[in-house]
Amino acid sequence: MDGVLDYVVNALFYIFVIYNFSYLCLRWMVIISWKLKLKAKKELSNKFLQSQGVSIIKPLFGYDSNMNDNLESFFELNYPKFELLLCVGEKINGPSLPLITELRAKYPAVDVKVFQGGEDVGPNPKICNMMPGYRDAQYPLMWFSDSRIHTSPDNLTEMMSHIGDLNVALVHQMPFVSHVEGFAGYLDKAYFGTQFARMYLIGDLLNLNHIVGMSWLLKKDALEKVGGLKAFGEYLAEDDVIGQALGKSGYKLALSTKLAVQNSGAPSTVLFRERIIRWTKLRANMSPLFFMLEPITECLPNALILGFYSKSFGFSFLSFIALFITIWFLSDLVYLHVLSNGNLGSLWLMFLAWLYRESTAYWYFLLGWVSREVTWGGKRYRLLPGGKTARINVSTAQTV
């Protein structure tokens, strides 16, 4: 019996050593691949761009202190033919309306339309908000972009360089964050620049078609063939479901070399926690098998497991843990350096934010299993089998 146990223990040791080495190689492979993509720019002719009009749909709700800069960056796009379809969630007196009026006066040459109140097509508030703009769009190409995204003048042109392939139906941008001083700002960067970026780039390399739709360009006719935007109003993770539906229909998805830069005016640990918990529950509900494997993609479980074999490496348990965490952090620091163009800020504060995120990831993982209720925009929803969602009536606590 002892011989069998020793065999199992030794087998687990070799499995985790091989896995960690392979995972490390894969992490380096995807970030090197990303770096090479940044250098391989495709030039587009003016004739092609003139013939490809784009409808830009932006859902707006409430008001953020950086909304002025974020929204104005879309008025300043260097692209020959586009329209801005601004979908204000409030039916009356939307706080973003004065800003829209000011920007329209400042940029009279930009084609702008404003829609208010949305259209009820399901529990997803963003889909409901965007539906009037989607129906009114005059161009066959559509760029959906969240209100907190800040863009650059050449952003749309870069995405268009991928959409020319007849089989490519959707171009998505990997979410990242602008640099904001303070622990909450570093926490956002530690998440989106390390664990999130690793899994996003690995998913793209393996053609898994899992996307986060903060900023994505797609062909409207392809979306219509899988049901149109309205058909996905019953999902909170509509972006991921749309990506899967397009992939199953034979279309390709392409990853832009431009990042979807979130430029939030007031990041906070509370907002970070709420978003991570919501996303964790969505992943647990939609991809439970993949979700079960998530812990072994994190630093601390691998450090602890291999730490039990620390004597095989010639280290004490604690010294091995410290060395493993240091190597993992330095590897993550490379990701952060590449994605932020070297703007890391305080390394000490970044390390503390990184360690906090690594330490709390398992608590969020447990919450993903124990509850199927999520909160988004102050409203409560219940996740149903298959990724669908139902609103929860707060007064009666009933699913509607």
| Three-state SS annotation for 138-187 | CCCEEEEECCCEECCCCHHHHHHHHHCCCCEEEEECCEEECCCCCHHHHH
What whole-number distance in Å separates Cα of residue 214 and Cα of residue 174? 8
CB atoms within 10 A of CB 213: 22
Q: At which residue do the structure tokens 């202190």 appear?
A: 65
Confirm if 233 and 123 have CB atoms less than 8 A apart. yes
CB atoms within 10 A of CB 45: 8
Contacts of 215 (CB under 8 A, 6+ apart): 143, 144, 145, 146, 149, 151, 172, 173, 175, 260
What whole-number distance in Å separates Cα of residue 136 and Cα of residue 269? 38
Q: Is the dihedral of CA 334, 237, 263, 143 positive or negative?
A: positive
* Cα→Cα distances 333→187, 327, 340, 343, 356, Å: 13, 10, 10, 11, 15
Confirm if 44 and 157 have CB atoms less than 8 A apart. yes
User: Inter-axis angle of helices 317-339 and 196-205, to 10 degrees?
Assistant: 70
What whole-number distance in Å separates Cα of residue 186 and Cα of residue 164? 37
Which residues does the annotation mark as catalytic? 239
Q: At which residue do the structure tokens 């409430």 appear?
A: 62
Whose CA is closest to 53, among 77, 21, 87? 77
Q: Rounded to the nearest 10 degrees, how much is the dihedral formed by the CA atoms of 71, 75, 80, 85?
A: 60
Confirm if 203 and 92 have CB atoms less than 8 A apart. no
